[in-house]
Amino acid sequence: MNNTLTFSLIQTNLYWEDKMANLKMLEQKINSIKEKTEVVVLPEMFSTGFSMQPEKFAETMQGNCVNWMKKIASQKRIILTGSLMIKENNNYYNRLIWMLPNEQFGYYDKRHCFAYAQEDKYYTAGNKRLITSVNGWKINLQICYDLRFPVWARQQIADKNNQPEYDVLLYVASWPQRRNYAWKTLLTARAIENQCYVIGVNRVGEDGNKINYSGDSMIINPLGEIVYSKADDEDIYTISLQKEHLQDVRNKFPFLADADNFTIE
């Protein structure tokens, strides 16, 4: 198991419903990362913005955007993640893709569609979580509105060695500025209650619906302390998370051992 895992967070404005412009811009930003990094995180619906027009912009898993992710991950020898509009079996999904350097991938379909913006009318909800593994680190992958539902993120102690399910809880988002207090508060709460690192990557700027985004991308440690936060401006930030710190917190404060037993179905 590696003691560190390095993430690069890309907080950026997006071109509204312009896939080619977004892919070009994001490729330039990824290429600008000088530090050695292992996982690069993009916002929710990074190729279009948070659009309710999947019939016009969704692609299959063999489409240009997924192929672009394969190319970038392979060329840069990184894991690349973010969500896209995906069409599959006549349904549309807000799908987070976890693209490996060898072009293999996992994916997570957003469980909680944002009914306030009618996302539930255009996209099909997912029905299973994805907890992936990198060099001995376990990462729970979720999307934006999922943040409001703590049961969906809650650690389950199912390991025979009584270990938590995951070490990092990661959210990609298009979370509006007018509700940024909820965003920042809930990210912090998820870190404290699950005794894990939490990473939230949000966009900035204004979308085609005149909705403003302040970013407020954050990294929070298992004690609920903010390690990184950036409001309003575009930013690329690279950090190495420390497994030793995570284990020290869990050993010193074994609160998860007192948690309620339950199963997510």
Residue 233 is classified by DSSP as: S
Which of 170, 177, 243 is closest to 216 using CA atoms?
A: 177
Residue 160 is classified by DSSP as: T
Measure Cα distances from 38 to 66, 133, 204, 210 in Å. 19, 12, 24, 34
Q: Which residues are catalytic?
A: 44, 110, 144
The whole-angstrom separation of Cα 173 and Cα 171 is 6
Q: Give every CB contact of residue 147 below 8 A, 6+ residues apart in sequence.
A: 153, 171, 173, 175, 183, 186, 187, 190, 200
